[in-house]
Amino acid sequence: MRLSTKGQYGLRAMFELAVNYGEGPIPLKIIADRQFISEHYLEQLVATMRKAGLVRSTRGAQGGYALSRPPGEITVGQVIRVLEGPLAPVECAIDNEEPICDRSGYCPTRIIWIKMRDSINQVVDSITLKDMVDDFRKMHPDKSYMYEI
């Protein structure tokens, strides 16, 4: 049960934008270079996040991307769900409505999938991009130079 590279790369890209929040638009090329991601591929992921309202873009020279809200107001869960879809271990646990499946009567496994789902989402919804940045700066005060333009 793995996340695809979409969620992984996307979150790393958002971390970069969070680190540089308030410093104007950052071009994708910079993010792709810093995070070792194919720029063209990242473009698609960022497009998804733009459509979902997580980032804003500025076109043309000196353009780039920026978070559309402060890092403290964007959770890891929001990012991952936008790129990966609902975080649920099976389809029938995506929402809480009673599922329609071919097995009549009570499903002995669904309650487990729902517990897994809630537990996963609780984790990612409790962490914001700001938390990630704070954590990074705490662990690597010496590496702040890495994130100047």
Q: Is 7 in the site for a copy of itself (CB under 8 A)?
A: yes
CA atoms of 43 and 66, how far apart (whole Å) = 14
Closest CB to DNA among residues 57, 121: 57
| Rounded least distance, CB 132 to a copy of itself, Å | 5
Site size toward DNA, by CB under 7 A: 26
Instruction: Collect all residues with Cβ–Cβ distance below 8 Å to 90 and sequence separation of at least 6.
Output: 113
Determine contact, residues 84/7, Cβ cutoff 8 Å: yes
Task: Find which of DNA, a copy of itself, none residue 63 binds, CB within 5 to 8 Å per kind.
Answer: DNA
Helix 129-139 vs helix 5-19: angle between axes, to the nearest 10 degrees?
70
Q: Among 23-31, 104-112, 122-130, 136-144, which window interacts with DNA (CB under 7 A)?
A: 23-31
| Residue bearing tokens 């929001």 | 78
Binding mask 65-94 for DNA (x = CB under 7 A): x-----------------------------
